[in-house]
Amino acid sequence: MASISSIWLKYSAPVTFYPLAGKLVPWFSIAAALLFSLGLSISFFVAPTDFQQGEAYRIIFIHVPAAWMSMFIYLVMASYCALGLAFNTRLSHMMASALAPTGAMFTFIALWTGSFWGKPMWGAWWVWDARLTSELILLFLYIGFISLQAAIDNPVRRDKAGAVFLLVGVVNIPIVYFSVQWWNTLHQGASVNMTTAPTMAQTMFAGMLIMAAACWMYSIAVSLVRVRQLILERECRSAWVTDILETLK
């Protein structure tokens, strides 16, 4: 146990995490590239055509993983923020900031592909469905977090203000989700209910899981690259960063 916790503590310092992240980035990038090519080939060539929805259903292979990632990344950011507020670790806040653009991107992709899917299926680009609406609010929360952090110059305040906002948001998300569902069932009859859709073929499900894994690898790789930049920016006055910058010249 002691050795495990000491490893955690060791890599919670930016000076040791920076080179570790640098070593990990290529591995995660390669994994993402392999999984994406495998997942995309399954989703385009292997998975059978859906007998109800035709070829258009294939958008599920990016839509569902993106929606999963959008929610999951928000939770990961919130846990980093809670860690950062509790233990006052700079790196946790930096990780949260590094994840935010990726999370916002996946939320946007989920909305965008959702509307592309909705047009052939529901006959409308946008439906005020409970899930779509809460996803939209999630996008607003991501944008709020990013613009709040962009507006604050003092790094300590930026970290903590972002963390407080994110934690308030995470408390709010279940309330938003249930209120939207409540509102939706009152205002319109059941449109397309995806939870009672016919069970999925095995290959479809496998393709979706592989795509989700690819999105994971991509998110980890990108946020590690981003957190390295943030570390350099924040720690630019410390000796080890000056050394790194010297070697780059």
Partner 1 sequence: MRSVFFAVLARDLTLYLRRRSDILTALFFFAIITSLFAMGVGPEINKLRLIAPGVIWVAALLTSLLSLNRLFSSDCQDGTLEQFLLAPQSLSLLVLAKILAHWLVSGLPIILVAPALGLQFDLPAHSLWILVISLALGTPILGMVGAIGAALTLGLRGGNTLIALLVLPLYMPVLIFATSAVDASLSGQGVEAHLSLLAALLVFTLFFGPLAIAAALRVSQD
Looking only at Cα atoms, what is the longest distance across the chain?
65
Chosen residue from 46, 75, 168, 194 binding partner 1 by CB under 8 A: 168
Q: Which C-beta is closer to partner 1: that of 43 or that of 149?
A: 149
The first and second tokens of residue 126, run together, are 């946008």
Chosen residue from 37, 88, 172, 202 binding partner 1 by CB under 8 A: 172
137 and 183 in contact (C-beta within 8 Å)? no
C-alpha span between 6 and 188 (Å, rounded): 55
Q: Is 54 helix (H, G, I), strand (E, B) or coil?
A: strand
Going by C-alpha positions, the residue among 29, 69, 7, 65 that lies closest to residue 225 is 29
- DSSP letters of 38-74? HHHHIIIIISPPBTTTBGGGGGHHHHHHHHHHHHHHH
The first and second tokens of residue 16, run together, are 């040791």
Name every residue whose Cβ is closer than 8 Å to that of residue 76 and which is 6 or more positions away in sequence: 99
Q: Which C-beta is closer to partner 1: that of 57 or that of 177?
A: 177
Q: Which C-beta is closer to partner 1: that of 33 or that of 136?
A: 136
Q: How far is the CB of 152 from partner 1 (least distance, A)?
A: 6
Q: How far is the CB of 171 from partner 1 (least distance, A)?
A: 7
Chosen residue from 171, 190, 239, 248 binding partner 1 by CB under 8 A: 171
Q: Which C-beta is closer to partner 1: that of 105 or that of 143?
A: 143
Q: How far is the CB of 141 from partner 1 (least distance, A)?
A: 6
Q: How far is the CB of 127 from partner 1 (least distance, A)?
A: 17
Q: How many residues bind partner 1 (CB under 8 A)?
A: 28
One character per residue 177-196, x = contact with partner 1 (rule: CB under 8 A): --xx-xx--x----------
Going by C-alpha positions, the residue among 244, 227, 211 that lies closest to residue 36 is 211
Name every residue whose Cβ is closer than 8 Å to that of residue 79 and which is 6 or more positions away in sequence: none
Helix axes 14-41, 90-122, angle to 10 degrees: 20
One character per residue 143-162, x = contact with partner 1 (rule: CB under 8 A): xx--xx--xx-x-xx--xx-
Q: How far is the CB of 160 from partner 1 (least distance, A)?
A: 4
Going by C-alpha positions, the residue among 104, 94, 83 that lies closest to residue 21 is 94
Question: Which residues make up the interface to partner 1 (CB under 8 A)?
Answer: 137, 140-141, 143-144, 147-148, 151-152, 154, 156-157, 160-161, 164-165, 167-169, 171-172, 175-176, 179-180, 182-183, 186
